[in-house]
Amino acid sequence: MSLRLGDSAPNFKAKTSKGDIDFYEYLGDSWGILFSHPADYTPVCTTELGKTASLAGEFERRNVKVLALSVDNVESHKSWISDINETQHTTVNFPIIADEDKSIAHAYDMIHPNASETFTVRSLFIIGPDKKVKLMIVYPASTGRNFFEVLRVIDSLQLAANYSVATPADWKEGEDVIIALSVKTEDAAAKFPKGVKVVKPYLRYTPQPNI
């Protein structure tokens, strides 16, 4: 059975560009991003890893740890990282997993035979501190991932986890959020002292509660 939202993210031990890790131990109490690449020295993925590295401060501010994965070996990863640092003008400090036997790729359903029988597709998972899968996205090889969208989703997930709210379409940091249906309207004013705007009984807005 394939991995689904809300499932426990499979734990694993792996060799990486930063040494051996246990996935759960690496995450600790942090949020996590695990994203896969078909192979080292691929052009789109080179830009993606560079962008991720350049956003290190943003991930740290949100208590998010990042891991990348491909089926190549550690020495290949280390050589590729030198190219990434050079061409993307950054420093890759997060681990790249060497999944040579594809055991992690299979556990996370990253092998899609109709796309490639041997390489991982470009999957991205956001994993909560409870080790549950919170988001899954699969990209085609030709389209680079938007890591500002990944940050936006993390902000939304963290708000939902802490404040009984959801975020509307195209929401951005600092904009009003939607009060979860689990909160009764008569209780909303006390729970959200910044104010409550009732559009419909099921559609109620409040200013973002953590700013």
Distance from C-alpha of 102 to C-alpha of 118, rounded to nearest angstrom: 9
Active site residue 45: yes
The Cα angle at residue 9 between residues 5 and 12, in degrees rounded to 5: 160
d(Cα 46, Cα 197) in Å, to the nearest integer? 45
Distance (Å) of CA 151 to CA 12, 32, 125, 127: 25, 12, 12, 13
**Read out DSSP for 164-197?**
SEE--TT--TTS-EEEPTTS-HHHHHHH-TT--E
Residue from 27, 34, 45, 165 carrying the catalytic annotation: 45
Measured CA distances, 110 to 24, 75, 104, 165 (Å): 19, 22, 8, 31
Which are the catalytic amino acids? 45
